[in-house]
Structure 1
Amino acid sequence: MNHLPKVVAGLIAAQNNFDSMAYSHCFAETAIVYDEGKTHNGRKEIKDWIEEANNAYKTVMQPIEYLADNQILRAEISGSFPGSPLVLTYQFDIKGEEIHTLKII
């Protein structure tokens, strides 16, 4: 997918390399992530959350489609979790080169 915003492409690359530090640096310092009914506030919480998930599930992402107008990514994720693979929707609020909000549905 050539038309992904640079920060989204960076997020996918960081996820697929299990690099929680690079993943967290795709976000603004005060960003918020909503996932599985939980809220992760700020870059440190986001780093800790994705590091824990990476260690537990080794999840990789394969983008399927990106809707630029709505800042929505649909991606297949696979890893060592029940039900793998799944298709999830990532709803972003991107300002400049940083993600300010991410809702994973």
Structure 2
Amino acid sequence: MNLPKVVSDLVKTQNNFDSVAYANCFSETAIVYDEGKTHKGRKEIEHWIADANERYEATMQPLSFEEKETESILKAEASGKFDGSPIVLSYHLEIANDLIQSLSITG
């Protein structure tokens, strides 16, 4: 599967539980929507993913990637320490200047 570099980096850093490198895939003003909460800016995103890594130890296996006009959708199997694992999640991404501007994760 041919993924943009920033998406490939996102998957790699998630699977290595590297919250700093994960956050660096995002712009300084990026927004993440996950589990009913909004995380704004690279620092908040870093804290959110560090907490999620500690709680869930989730890894991602990309299944498909689709680019649309204003967003891209990565479908990935997430496995970890959570009920229902593994599950397929959709990562709705807006990418500009080789950085993620927004990410919304849905089940």
TM exceeding 0.5: yes
Following superposition, the deviation at residue 11 of structure 1 comes to: 0.2
Report the identity percentage: 57
* Partner SS, residue 46 of structure 1: helix
Tell me if 1:84 matches 2:73.
Answer: no
- Residue 74 (structure 1) aligns with: 75
* Partner SS, residue 10 of structure 1: helix
> What CA RMSD, in Å, does the superposition of the two structures yield over aligned residues?
0.7
| Inter-partner Cα distance in structure 2 for 1:56 and 1:25 | 21
- Residue 94 (structure 1) aligns with: 95
Unmatched 5+ residue regions in structure 1? Answer: none
Which 4+ runs in 1 deviate beyond 6 A? none
Q: How does 1:1-105 map to 2 (within 5 A)?
A: 1=1, 3-69=2-68, 70-105=71-106
Unmatched 5+ residue regions in structure 2? Answer: none
TM-score normalized by the length of structure 2: 0.95
| Inter-partner Cα distance in structure 2 for 1:72 and 1:60 | 17
TM-score normalized by the length of structure 1: 0.97
| Inter-partner Cα distance in structure 1 for 2:74 and 2:16 | 19
1:56-88 per-position Cα deviation (integer Å, ceiling 9, x unaligned): 111000000000224100000000111100100
